[in-house]
């Protein structure tokens, strides 16, 4: 539930006008057990308390203003809230932007989730979390929202086209590189109609002075009511490599009233890696809604290295958590 701060009285005192600022967010905590085993049967097990395991706990301060003539100004300051850390270092790492929307579309400047992140998170039957190790091709070994902040791309100018077809959203963005990141161009499309959903994302960035990296992601889903089936695929290609990396995921989500269960199967081939060039895994999530804002979560998953130097290595994770949105 979003809270409205009418206590922007200081602004009202200066400008003579009232302004409304909305605060929303998520607090997410869990206990996680990780067991890794190499092909020589050596086993390592750890149990930890983790914040932002499932949702990427955040605090958002945002608002809008009617400028007249069909124009609206909007802003958001998103803060990453790592509740299990005494001294968090990611206090400004979430989506933050300012922009203007009108009949021409929506132009925003700031930091946003990458187009791949949106497609991957939408078409994931087992939850986009640190336990779920899907989508390795487009964002690394973990699907973490809070733990893999590389999916947030800063210095973006993002344009959302006006509605052309009901249910269709089209975006294009240009990000200007800093430090290790080169300039990046992104395109994204999302469509939904009835029980059908589809998404596509494409990006190209300068990963070095002589190398560019091109990525693509797409997803499909259909909700039959008694179950929702989901499929997604990802690809990554370096301009200096002869072959690219690919990954696929398919799954199903079945609701039982307040309880829902999702199962996904994942496989990938990544010749760009020097050691482990392919693998597969599964993830299962059970989510029980105690209310519209509070949920209990249980999740388990296992990944296996299928090709490369460490064939047979496994990593299994089991997690139990609670999140509350406000």
CATH of the domain at 225: 2.40.160.10
**Within a domain: 254:** yes
Is 3 part of any domain? no
Q: What is the pTM of this model?
A: 0.83
Higher pLDDT, 275 or 199: 199
- Give pairs for 162-167: CB < 8 Å, separation 24+: 162/103, 162/104, 162/105, 165/191, 166/193, 167/191, 167/192, 167/193
- pLDDT band for position 213 (50/70/90)? confident
> Is residue 15 situated within a structural domain?
no
Q: Is the pLDDT of residue 262 over 80?
A: yes
- At residue 181, the pLDDT reads 54
| Percent of the chain's residues with pLDDT above 90 | 35
Structure tokens at 1: 């539930």
Residue 279 reports pLDDT greater than 50: yes
Average pLDDT over residues 4-19: 45
pLDDT digits over 40-61, tens only? 778 888 877 666 666 667 888 9
269 assigned to some structural domain: yes
- For residues 159-175, give the mean pLDDT: 94
Q: Which residues contact 118 (CB under 8 A, 6 or more apart)?
A: 188, 190, 199, 201
Average pLDDT score over the chain: 81
298 lies in some domain: yes
In-domain check, residue 63: no
Give yes or no for residue 319 having a pLDDT over 50.
yes
Residues in the chain: 326
- 170: pLDDT strictly greater than 90: yes
The sign of the torsion formed by the CA atoms of 289, 290, 296, 299 equals negative
Whether 41 is covered by a domain: the verdict is no
pLDDT (mean) for 143-158: 59
Q: Residue 94: inside a domain, yes or no?
A: no
Intra-chain end-to-end CA distance of the chain, in Å: 4
Bin 162: left if φ > 0, else alpha if -120 < ψ < 50, else beta: beta
pLDDT of residue 84: 64
Task: Using the predicted structure, report yes or no on whether residue 97 has a pLDDT greater than 80.
Answer: yes
Residues 242, 230: contact at Cβ < 8 Å? no
Give residue 114's pLDDT.
83
At 85, is the secondary structure helix, strand, or coil? coil
Q: What's the mean pLDDT in 104-122? A: 89
Does residue 131 carry a pLDDT above 90? no
Q: For residue 158, is pLDDT > 80?
A: yes
| CB-based contacts of 133, cutoff 8 Å, min separation 6 | 141, 142, 143, 266, 281, 283, 301, 303, 315, 317
Total domains present in the chain: 1
- Which domain range does residue 297 map to? 49-55+105-325
Q: Does residue 176 register a pLDDT over 60?
A: yes
Show the 3-state SS of 230-276: EEEEEEEEECCCCCCEEEEEEEEEEEECCEEEEEEEEEEECCCCCCE
pLDDT higher than 70, residue 164: yes
């Amino acid at each position: 539930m979003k809270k409205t701060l009418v206590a922007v009285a200081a602004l009202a005192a200066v400008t003579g006008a009232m302004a409304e600022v909305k605060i929303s967010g998520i607090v997410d905590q869990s206990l996680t057990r990780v067991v890794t085993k190499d092909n020589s049967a050596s086993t390592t097990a750890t149990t930890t308390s983790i914040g932002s395991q499932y949702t990427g706990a955040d605090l958002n301060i945002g608002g809008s203003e009617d400028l007249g003539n069909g124009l609206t100004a909007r802003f958001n300051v998103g803060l990453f809230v790592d509740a299990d850390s005494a001294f968090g270092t990611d206090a400004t790492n979430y989506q933050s932007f300012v922009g203007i929307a009108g009949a021409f579309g929506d132009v925003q400047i700031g930091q946003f989730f990458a187009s791949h992140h949106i497609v991957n998170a939408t078409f994931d039957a087992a939850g986009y979390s640190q336990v779920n190790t899907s989508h390795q091709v487009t964002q690394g070994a973990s699907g973490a929202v809070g733990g893999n902040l590389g999916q947030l791309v800063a210095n973006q100018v993002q344009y959302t086209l006006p509605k052309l077809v009901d249910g269709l959203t089209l975006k294009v963005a240009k990000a200007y590189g800093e430090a290790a990141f080169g300039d990046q161009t992104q395109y994204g499309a999302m469509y939904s109609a009835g029980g059908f959903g589809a998404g596509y994302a494409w990006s190209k960035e300068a990963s070095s002075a002589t190398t560019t990296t091109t990525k693509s992601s797409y997803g499909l889903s259909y909700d039959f009511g008694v179950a929702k089936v989901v499929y997604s695929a990802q690809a990554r290609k370096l301009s200096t490599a002869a072959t690219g990396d690919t990954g696929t995921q398919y799954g199903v989500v079945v609701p039982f009233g307040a309880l829902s269960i999702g199962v996904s199967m994942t496989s990938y081939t990544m010749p760009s890696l020097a050691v482990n060039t392919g693998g597969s895994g599964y993830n299962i999530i059970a989510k029980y809604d105690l209310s519209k804002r509070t949920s209990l979560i249980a999740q388990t998953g296992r990944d296996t290295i299928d090709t490369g130097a460490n064939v047979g290595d496994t990593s299994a994770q089991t997690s139990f958590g609670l999140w509350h949105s406000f």
